[in-house]
Structure 1
Amino acid sequence: MSISVRHPIFGEGELLGSRWNGEELLVKFENNLRLWIHESELTRRERISLRSVHSISEDTHKCRRIIEAFRLGIVPHFAIDQYTFGRSRETSKFEEGLDELEIAGGSVLIVEGAYGAGKSHFLDYTYNLALKRGFVVAQAQLDPFEISPYRPMNIYREFMRSLRYCNGDRECGVRDLLKHAANVELAQDHEFLAPALSLVRKNLEDELLWLWIEGDTIPRWYLNDKHFRLRAPIMLDHSTAANNYCYILSGLAFFARTLGFKGLVLFVDEAEIAFRQWYSWSLAKGLNFLVGLILTSLNRVNPTPRITKDLSTGLYVEELEGMKLIYNGVKRHRTPYVYRIPSGIFLVIATTPLHACSSHDLLRCVDERSRLILSELDEHALEVMFSQLVAAYTHAYPGFQISHMSFEDAFSHAMERRAEGIRFFIKASVEALDIQRHSLSSTASSPMK
């Protein structure tokens, strides 16, 4: 019995066969043209598919989500712990930073690696690790446009949106932290957070107040409304406002430590964006924010700074360790970089390898102990990773089996991309398994004569 189908361009046709598990169908059209067409483009009275309609198990669905992420060379967040291999040295270095935060009240770790080396994956893994160990965590991924280093307000907003900590078996955010802080009457002298906490304490907070705390732009009249008596400073969207946002972040870290948490861990990904700016002013302001955040985390900024006006640039600056830290130009809002010493912040920055010519100020802020260069995974770690990937693939596509010879061939194919980085190794692994699966499927279901 023949099956008639219709294509929006080629018209009516007769179905002859299929390949790739029914994803492509061979159709003979009325003009005798024979074409392989994706099944989604063909209809009869209803959408056609030669694959039997059946529900897949939860385990199969989860594994397919993992494989689809692997096609892009990334690991999904829910599988980070399961798919982290060969990073014991790097993890130990990160844990040393956590210990230093607990003992000394601040630390910095700069993670360096080429594109595709696994920097973002390592940050995701350590983010989960810090969360499990009782730290408050937040992360920001920089980009050349909105979340650029010379726009400190936008980076602060990303930190607030991603801030998490564990309270029992529940994950909480910045609003929960501030409600907790309001209940114990912390930080009466914090210029930004104290006015807001006084309203939270009286149950007078509303959504606009929370948006203001989280760094969103809100109407200025709201801040001056006598009904709320907030009278809070403006969250300045200025490139020179790095001092304000380091000050607020160190205030949140103080809350966290006072409330019994071990400190605030901040993750900054794609930090190399700071060195790739079109204009000299955006480069200078972006580096200033990163340098200020580093020095704040290392407790090397002054809680009572001596600020002067630089006549050559017109900026308000503080001379510190041979560098000039920039402060915003609005005197009323000219806070120090740190709320209290110690800052309570562990800053983790991921970037491509730093070079003295482009990242001079950053390198002056840290010593070799604060730098971590991601090592290339050895062949054993890659083979373990590939075996885990194959296991997920066979769960994602029930019925697919791979022989020892095919396993070795696929692994060899993936190893050819090893030099390009872990991301390309993962993508090549999935490609090799796809070839195996589709070639078997094509052999098993050749076109009908």
Structure 2
Amino acid sequence: MQYVEHPRYGRGVVIESRYNGLELRIKFEDGITRWIRREFVRFLSKAPVLEKCKRAKLTMPAGKFRAVGIIEALRMGVVPLGQIEEFTVGREDELGRIKDWLDNPQAGTLQIVGEYGTGKTHLLNCIYLLALREGWAVSYVELDHMENPPYRPRSVYGSIINSFRFGEKGEGDFRKFLQKIAMNKNTHEILEHPLLGKILRKIREDEVDEDDWEWIEGKLSKRYQKYNHSTSASIYCNILSGIGWAAKKLGLKGFLVLFDEAENVDLVQYRNQFKKGWNFLSGLVLLSNNTKSLLWEDILYTSSGYIGEETRLQYYGFRTDIRFAWRIPSNLKLVFAFTPGDLVNEPPFDSVERVELEHLRAHHFNELLEKIKTIYKEAYDFEVANEELRKFEFPPHTRSFIKACVEAMDILRLGGTR
């Protein structure tokens, strides 16, 4: 069994490979299975995925090797994380607004709204890199209606923790973060946290084991109580509140969580699943907005469960002593990427700042094309003439456009016809 680690998705196990080992199908700790290019993961054990023949030492210059790797990613419509900013065009105004929002301690949640193909995921990746450089702890979560739906708070929390990174290059993970917190003299107050506290005390006393780690990371444990119900949003919001508080005490600016495909909250089989998912997202938004009633509101028992009198949020009935917030301010910021629809106008999202994305214009696509041409020339020593490229029709959506550009250049280089 081959274990690997991805800079965003964390650790996982290789299930199979394709394209002569170029891509690996990996089941990550958040429960989601993804196809990932081999060079984007780090192998954690010595057992190889494939038997490989001995080959001559690579003599390709480093710059050329880098360029070939970029082109191979672009061929699939994917911009490598290291080149995200280089391939960001036409978003100066949006990035300026996002930077202002990130610097505003009073602003908790931001929406990025755009049609498919406008570059929402690309922009989230820009924010991810920017926030790490600016001194935030950052998590990136893909909401999936099948494998990671919002009505399963434990699953979403696990994805947040699994992708948790801090440090300018994202070198620190959640375990390293908790170890730093446990040993920091300025964070003793968090030892009182009803859930994080017991793990931090074990870390201090050097008694923490793998079962302890897995429980606080959102995995099921035989030793600890399982908060696996759809109503457990208050439990996980409380933990995230503690993480945000601790991040600030550690010298970070706070804790930023990026949610992609947020519209998947509405892709459910039963209406009750939507209500539970919306309850979780609403709790997160109110927490990021530092809603003080999350600390003290009365909890009423109703036919719908345990409901907060002020916020109308549903609490976890088995632990009503654990509120949605542990401390205010929470030092938590959220970014949700939505496609246009009714959800973005529903409370509490109707009152948060919104950045709307339009499709890139023709001159932006031309700028992208020139960047791809430059890297393609470095990779294959082949310069593409603009008059030749004009013979091709390129789709108006960013990802499809990038793939089509590389395919057109391949055709011209290899002497084919369009």
* TM-score of the superposed pair, with normalisation by structure 2: 0.81
- Per-residue deviation, 1:327: 1.0
- Per-residue deviation, 1:328: 1.2
Whole-Å Cα distance in 1 between the matches of residues 166 and 264 of structure 2? 28
How has the CA–CA distance of structure 1 residues 250 and 432 changed in structure 2, closer, same or farther, with 3 Å as cutoff? same
Whole-Å Cα distance in 1 between the matches of residues 321 and 113 of structure 2? 33
Q: 4+ residue runs of structure 1 moved beyond 3 angstroms?
A: 52-55, 366-369, 407-410
1:166 aligned counterpart, secondary structure: coil
The number of residues matched between the two structures is 358
Q: Deviations over 1:104-145 (max 9, x none)?
A: 3x5110111111211111101110000000111111111122
How does 1:362-373 map onto structure 2 within 5 Å? Answer: 363-367=346-350, 370-373=353-356
- Per-residue deviation, 1:188: 2.7
Q: Which residue of structure 1 aligns with residue 379 of structure 2? A: 396
Whole-Å Cα distance in 2 between the matches of residues 404 and 116 of structure 1? 24
Q: Which residue of structure 2 aligns with residue 180 of structure 1? A: 180
Does 1:433 pair with 2:409? yes
How does 1:67-78 map onto structure 2 within 5 Å? Answer: 67-78=71-82
Contact 1:244 1:334 (C-alpha < 8 Å) held by counterparts? no
- Per-residue deviation, 1:368: 6.1
Q: Deviations over 1:317-352 (max 9, x none)?
A: 11335xx21111213x64111111111111000111
- Per-residue deviation, 1:390: 1.1
- Per-residue deviation, 1:396: 2.2
Does 1:317 pair with 2:307? yes
- Per-residue deviation, 1:409: 3.5
2:299 equivalent among 284, 295, 307: 307
1:302 aligned counterpart, secondary structure: helix
Contact 1:97 1:346 (C-alpha < 8 Å) held by counterparts? no
Whole-Å Cα distance in 2 between the matches of residues 84 and 166 of structure 1? 23
Contact 2:118 2:360 (C-alpha < 8 Å) held by counterparts? no
How does 1:206-285 map onto structure 2 within 5 Å? Answer: 206-220=209-223, 223=224, 234-285=225-276
Whole-Å Cα distance in 2 between the matches of residues 404 and 141 of structure 1? 38
Q: Which residue of structure 1 aligns with residue 336 of structure 2? A: 349
Contact 2:132 2:170 (C-alpha < 8 Å) held by counterparts? no
How has the CA–CA distance of structure 1 residues 58 and 193 changed in structure 2, closer, same or farther, with 3 Å as cutoff? same
- Per-residue deviation, 1:430: 1.7
Q: Deviations over 1:255-285 (max 9, x none)?
A: 0111111111110111111011111111111
- Per-residue deviation, 1:69: 2.0
Contact 1:113 1:119 (C-alpha < 8 Å) held by counterparts? yes
- Per-residue deviation, 1:408: 3.7
Whole-Å Cα distance in 2 between the matches of residues 423 and 269 of structure 1? 16
Q: Which residue of structure 1 aligns with residue 42 of structure 2? A: none
Q: Which residue of structure 2 aligns with residue 381 of structure 1? A: 364
How has the CA–CA distance of structure 1 residues 259 and 53 changed in structure 2, closer, same or farther, with 3 Å as cutoff? closer
| Structure 1: gaps spanning 5 or more residues | 1-51, 224-233, 443-449
Q: Which residue of structure 2 aligns with residue 158 of structure 1? A: 159
How has the CA–CA distance of structure 1 residues 170 and 111 changed in structure 2, closer, same or farther, with 3 Å as cutoff? closer
Contact 2:70 2:79 (C-alpha < 8 Å) held by counterparts? yes
Report which of the two structures shows the higher radius of gyration computed on alpha carbons: 1
2:347 aligned counterpart, secondary structure: helix
- Same amino acid, percent of matched pairs: 34
Q: Which has the higher contact order (CA 8 A, sep 6+)?
A: 1
Alpha carbon RMSD of aligned pairs, Å?
A: 2.2
* TM-score of the superposed pair, with normalisation by structure 1: 0.75
Whole-Å Cα distance in 2 between the matches of residues 57 and 345 of structure 1? 44
Q: Which residue of structure 1 aligns with residue 4 of structure 2? A: none
Whole-Å Cα distance in 2 between the matches of residues 369 and 215 of structure 1? 28
- Per-residue deviation, 1:170: 7.0
Whole-Å Cα distance in 1 between the matches of residues 332 and 352 of structure 2? 17
Contact 1:153 1:235 (C-alpha < 8 Å) held by counterparts? no
Whole-Å Cα distance in 2 between the matches of residues 261 and 401 of structure 1? 46
How has the CA–CA distance of structure 1 residues 142 and 197 changed in structure 2, closer, same or farther, with 3 Å as cutoff? same
1:386 aligned counterpart, secondary structure: helix
